[in-house]
Amino acid sequence: MPHDVALFVTCLTDQFYPHVGVAVTKILEHFGCRVHFPQAQTCCGQPFYNNGFHDQAATLGKRFIEVFEPYKYIVTPSGSCAAMVREQYEQLMKNDPAWSHPMHETVSKTYEFVEFLDKVLKVDFSQFKLPKPESITYHYTCHLRGIGVKDEGVKLLQQIGNVDFRAMEKTDQCCGFGGTFAMKYPAISGAIVEDKVACIAATEAKTLVCNDAGCSMNISGMCHRDGMAVQTRHIAELMAEAMGLETAAW
């Protein structure tokens, strides 16, 4: 029986990286999932929550629960949004008995993409290879670590043929994005991302894998300003390429 999966594409992926959503969908379908895209989905509420508008965040959270209730699994390419659902919905709805059960149901079935591949589908990418050798390093995003996802992405990457993996120093260090933190404290954010980019440069890798759209935008922007010829890609893009899947956005 195929796994019924609902894709939560997220705001940033939808607007800036739609091809990542296509890649995620095709990879899940390749591994036997029946992928659904609830068109009523909107935001998970994270921007409101991060800025202290918790009532508004709760409203969006309840809408999220209603939209995704029919599906067995919810999979998202964003560790940040997965963490919002998994870590903050409890705080937003803990005093609302009517939403306690559906909230816990939703939290328990929400997975970040790599996490789902590793823990639920238990995939093996050793049968696939990139068209040509590629030097790759990996950014461990803060929100992924927050939900317990650590080396799973690197493990899967290293299974793929033609991947020349380069470990990065300070893997546990933030890239400086932090949502609105980057706008409220630009000098601090800029210093943090400068340090992160220096660590990327030290690996001499040509590709950075980053599985959070906000972090990708922040890091790739600094790489561009520093004149670094490093491309930032989501792991799903590399996986799809190795699998020979077409991922041009519809």
What is d(CA 236, CA 147) in angstroms, rounded to the nearest whole number? 19
Work out the burial of residue 62: count CB atoms within 10 Å of its CB; fewer than 13 is exposed, 13-18 middle, 19 or more buried. Answer: buried
> What is the model's pLDDT at position 64?
98
Q: Are 34 and 1 in contact (CB under 8 A)?
A: no
pLDDT means per 10 residues in the chain (250 residues)?
91 94 97 97 94 95 98 96 95 93 97 97 96 95 87 96 95 83 85 92 96 91 89 96 80
Q: Are 152 and 118 in contact (CB under 8 A)?
A: yes
> What is the model's pLDDT at position 144?
86
Q: How far is CA 141 from CA 97, 148, 190, 211, 245, in A?
A: 33, 11, 17, 7, 26
* 190: number of Cβ within 10 Å: 15
